[in-house]
Amino acid sequence: MAMDDDVASDRRRREELALIKAFFGIRDPSRRQRILELAEELADRAASETAGPAFVSTDASLGDAPRDLPGHTE
């Protein structure tokens, strides 16, 4: 299992370095700023998707979702 973790860690490190190298290759400051904003927006979306509601219904006949589900907030 530790070997899989090492492989994933190495792959992630290579991706991070490639992203940094590409980012610094962009000479236009406004484009770098836009990329930074986009990356932050994508990270925020990913965080909200993982913390999203525990129950999502597309069936209108179900009415409101049960109130005792984990993750439900008032």
Beta-carbon-side half-sphere exposure of residue 31 (alpha carbons within 13 Å)? 7
Sequence-distant (6+) residues with CB within 8 A of 32 are 23, 26
> What beta strand segments (E) does the chain contain?
none
Task: Indicate whether 74 pLDDT > 60.
Answer: no
pLDDT digits 0-9 by tens, 30-54: 999 999 999 999 999 999 998 766 5
- Better-scored residue on pLDDT, 1 or 71: 1
pLDDT confidence of residue 4:
84
- Better-scored residue on pLDDT, 3 or 20: 20
pLDDT confidence of residue 2:
74
Q: What is the domain partition of the chain in residue ranges?
A: 18-47
